[in-house]
Structure 1
Amino acid sequence: MITEKPFSPDLPAPLDGIRVLDLSRLVAGNMLSLQLADHGAEVIKIEDPKTGDPLRAWRDQGQSFHWKIYARNKKSLALDLRADEGKALLLRLTARADVLIENFRPGTLEKMGLAPALLHERNPRLVIVRISGFGQTGPYRGQPGFGTLVEAMSGFAAKNGFPEREPLLPPLALADMLAGLYGAFGVMVALRVAAASGRGQVIDLSLLEAVHSVLGPDAAIFARTGRKPARTGNRSATTAPRNVFRTRDNRFIAISASIQSMAERLFRAIGRPDMIDDPRFRTNTERLRHVEACEQPIADFIATRDAAEALAVFAAAEVTAALVYDIEQFLADPHVGERGVIVAVPDEDRENREAARAPQTILMHDVLPRLSATPGQLRRAAPALGADTRVLLAEIGCTGADYDDLLAREIIRESRS
């Protein structure tokens, strides 16, 4: 059962008082600022007045699900940074900010007259996160940095997929998501330094490096042995047996016997204790060498049983096995429901809701990680474009005729809702 969770705008949070200006677009920057916003930081999305963050345009049946989830807890200030007046307002905003996030092509911030050195003159404590595909230095610094490119170049795709097939790219924005998490960690480190020293710094965040960092010791292995990672499908290059197996009722069970005692439990559970002392399967190294022969008895055992029956056997033997879920099965799992992994929050997108006759709530993952004393909170829905423009600019004295002039010339924009 999915828990309904209202927005709680007034609850205290550990990052209360931290102000973040997020100039980024699409996934990595939004993933980064989401972590900060979920734990109380005031995240202000600086968006193009005409189009907003391109993440808004990632639609499914007319609804911006990505935006609603990854822009929750944030504010929107629609400001044209191509205009001199827009850049001047941004400079004034940086004086009151703790963090600035951008993912322009390297060198763009400098061309805009917003180089980090200038920003630090205005605010020495400012932490500046610069997200790019390949980093702020190096021969590829100026190349477009889409996640797909770095997922291909990092070594990830080459080792992902089945050996007889082409390299396989991930079905999600993996590079961006990883970079966003690294970026949030980097911000917290830099904020601690700024609190102690009074000095901010620049975080050079490369998507390429973020993806490669999680691939394991591939570089070390190649340098010592000359061996390149091979595509192994659902098998592991380091432990065996590890795979997914089809059941009699056409489900799939994932099994990972990554330690010796687990492999022995598995062999006993399928009625093959003789495999424990078989020289081909006695150690993990030998099981990897004879992986086809090792897995065949497991596959045969599972293929002659329905999923529920096979899982019951494995549970009784304390074997690490689980069903492969699709999203419907994941949502129906009682553990997911009891833990509140997914919550239903109010959906304030009235126009889309009425057009699609959608419910008044939207499902999304709850705040991570779970802190016992100072948990993060869901404070507000993802903002309409320019929802907070008037209030935020009023804080720096842009009101009255000046504000109306900027609005009329479309240098800024207000939400219609």
Structure 2
Amino acid sequence: MINRSALDPDDHARPPGAPAPLTGLKVIDTATLFAGPFAATLLGDYGADVVKIEHPDGDPARRYGAQADGVPVWWKVVARNKRSATLDLHTDEGQRLFRRLAADADLIVENFRPGTLERWGLDYATLSADNPRLVLLRMTGFGQTGPYAHRPGFGTIGEAMSGLAHLTGTPDGPPTLPSFPLADAVAGLTAAFAALTALRARELTGRGQVVDLSIVESMLGVLGGPLATYDLTGVMPTRQGNRSPNNAPRNVYRTKDDHWVAVSATTLSVAERVVRLVGRPELAEEPWFATGAGRARHTEELDTAVGGWIAERTRDEVVERFEQAQAAIGPVYDLADVLADPHFAARGSIISVPDPELDAIRMPGVAFRLSDTPGAVHSAGPRLGQHTADVLGELGLKAEDLSALAAKGVI
């Protein structure tokens, strides 16, 4: 095990006396794996009391990905700032206790297949009868309605059916899927916004509502430009590798010391700086250079000029020269580079969170910074059922009640 006792100081804590912006918001997170739980994580980062309801066997995220000293790493990140309570919702007693928890909640996050909550007697009509201000955030692959509603849908399916995979990869290669849960992250970000929108509407109407969020539709939302372009022009976008059909130079280039850098010249002024820097100022005088589409048609010529210049220099030299020229560049980092980057360290982009099982764990900090009411990470993902006694104790259950429920397998 890596000794993390000397990691970066605890710079993720909220300043003394600063309020958490979502203090007082109670969230019940019953979702599994990543899209729904990520939405709840974002809310917890800014002060919401997030109660993670897990089956007594544990959330599937506890068994996903790598482990460190037998501890699930992904779980520690996606379940940060949450309390873990176990409850078997397949049982009558589990459903009864869940209804009691929902009666005092502001938001429930769930991603069961459509009809599951209804089958358990936990539909919105039932829950809102006791709590009219409740917001129910329902996250599925395809939404609650439509011919695909009952299909299982993970992030990978959203990446495929939204058109993302079709647009990703090399021109002569197959469609490419990301190696991490990109669609889940996009859906989680969308869901956090949706939840806060519904809670804001509650302030205006006095009542809660149901949020129907689809992973596929979340991905469609970020691919609107290519979709509308095809609809209006009939031109089907194709895979471009690391290039762009709208601009050039835009690519990744290998350096002399066998690293990679990414160059993006989206605007004319930046493109001019790049070709001057690499010793080809005459390219900027060409008529085609004046527009992004024109430069994209001459990608080969621009890539040869930029790539050839970069190949003769080290990564550090290339980045320094581009910065001096005020041209956009970024080194292609691996995760070791991310953890060592001085800018990320200075901003607290990567934080070290104390943890009783791992000593400490480094993970991304809060998603954004608020000047007066900042977010904070105060704990990594909890042990299974670590807070069951606390959560159910808030309903008035005593130790003997918990023992009886455990004997029945309800918790």
TM-score range, shorter chain: over 0.9
Q: Does the 8 Å contact 1:2/1:337 carry over to 2?
A: no
1:218-257 mapped onto 2 (5 Å cutoff): 218-257=226-265
Q: CA deviation at 1:187?
A: 1.0
| Structure 1 residues 296 and 288: alpha-carbon distance in aligned structure 2, compared to 1, 3 A threshold | same
Residues 1:4 and 2:9 are matched in the alignment: yes
Match of 1:31 among 38, 48, 61: 38
Q: Does the 8 Å contact 2:100/2:395 carry over to 1?
A: yes
Q: CA deviation at 1:280?
A: 4.0
| Distance (Å, rounded) in 2 between the aligned partners of 1:310 and 1:72 | 38
Question: For residue 42 of structure 1, what is the aligned residue in structure 2?
Answer: 49
Q: CA deviation at 1:2?
A: 5.7
Residues 1:310 and 2:309 are matched in the alignment: no
Question: For residue 14 of structure 1, what is the aligned residue in structure 2?
Answer: 21
SS in 1 for 2:287: coil
| Distance (Å, rounded) in 2 between the aligned partners of 1:401 and 1:27 | 34
Q: CA deviation at 1:380?
A: 2.6
| Distance (Å, rounded) in 1 between the aligned partners of 2:375 and 2:290 | 47
Question: For residue 371 of structure 1, what is the aligned residue in structure 2?
Answer: 370
Q: CA deviation at 1:223?
A: 1.4
CA distances 1:373-393 after superposition (whole Å, capped 9, x unpaired): 000122233211111111211
Residues 1:56 and 2:62 are matched in the alignment: yes
SS in 2 for 1:281: helix
Q: CA deviation at 1:77?
A: 1.0
Unpaired runs of 5+ residues, structure 1, are: 354-359, 413-417
Question: For residue 382 of structure 2, what is the aligned residue in structure 1?
Answer: 383
Question: For residue 166 of structure 1, what is the aligned residue in structure 2?
Answer: 174
CA distances 1:184-237 after superposition (whole Å, capped 9, x unpaired): 111111112212322000000100001111124122111111111110011112
Q: Does the 8 Å contact 1:2/1:343 carry over to 2?
A: no
SS in 1 for 2:252: strand
Q: CA deviation at 1:290?
A: 1.7
Q: CA deviation at 1:175?
A: 1.1
SS in 2 for 1:76: strand
SS in 2 for 1:165: coil
CA distances 1:146-200 after superposition (whole Å, capped 9, x unpaired): 1111111110000001101100001111111111111111111111221232200
| Distance (Å, rounded) in 1 between the aligned partners of 2:214 and 2:7 | 36
Q: Does the 8 Å contact 2:353/2:378 carry over to 1?
A: no
Q: Does the 8 Å contact 1:159/1:230 carry over to 2?
A: yes
Q: Does the 8 Å contact 1:348/1:381 carry over to 2?
A: no
Residues 1:394 and 2:393 are matched in the alignment: yes
| Distance (Å, rounded) in 2 between the aligned partners of 1:235 and 1:400 | 62
Higher mean C-alpha displacement, 105-114 vs 52-61: 52-61
Residue identity opposite 1:373 in structure 2:
D
Residues 1:295 and 2:303 are matched in the alignment: yes
| Distance (Å, rounded) in 1 between the aligned partners of 2:308 and 2:314 | 12
Question: For residue 144 of structure 2, what is the aligned residue in structure 1?
Answer: 136
| Distance (Å, rounded) in 1 between the aligned partners of 2:129 and 2:62 | 33
| Distance (Å, rounded) in 2 between the aligned partners of 1:371 and 1:392 | 30
Question: For residue 356 of structure 1, what is the aligned residue in structure 2?
Answer: none
Residues 1:274 and 2:288 are matched in the alignment: no
Residues 1:67 and 2:75 are matched in the alignment: yes
Residues 1:328 and 2:299 are matched in the alignment: no
| Distance (Å, rounded) in 1 between the aligned partners of 2:405 and 2:160 | 43
Q: CA deviation at 1:7?
A: 7.9
Higher mean C-alpha displacement, 55-64 vs 333-342: 55-64
Residue identity opposite 1:251 in structure 2:
H
| Distance (Å, rounded) in 2 between the aligned partners of 1:227 and 1:54 | 42
| Distance (Å, rounded) in 2 between the aligned partners of 1:17 and 1:400 | 27
Q: Does the 8 Å contact 1:6/1:345 carry over to 2?
A: no
Total equivalences in the alignment? 402
CA distances 1:99-145 after superposition (whole Å, capped 9, x unpaired): 01110011111111111111111110000000000000000000001
Normalising by structure 2, what TM-score? 0.94
Unpaired runs of 5+ residues, structure 2, are: 1-5
| Distance (Å, rounded) in 2 between the aligned partners of 1:59 and 1:302 | 37
| Distance (Å, rounded) in 1 between the aligned partners of 2:321 and 2:368 | 33
Q: What root-mean-square deviation, in Å, do the aligned CA atoms of Structure 1 and Structure 2 show? A: 1.7
| Distance (Å, rounded) in 2 between the aligned partners of 1:24 and 1:240 | 42
Q: Does the 8 Å contact 1:76/1:384 carry over to 2?
A: yes
| Distance (Å, rounded) in 2 between the aligned partners of 1:310 and 1:387 | 50
Q: CA deviation at 1:321?
A: 1.5
Question: For residue 178 of structure 1, what is the aligned residue in structure 2?
Answer: 186
Residues 1:192 and 2:200 are matched in the alignment: yes
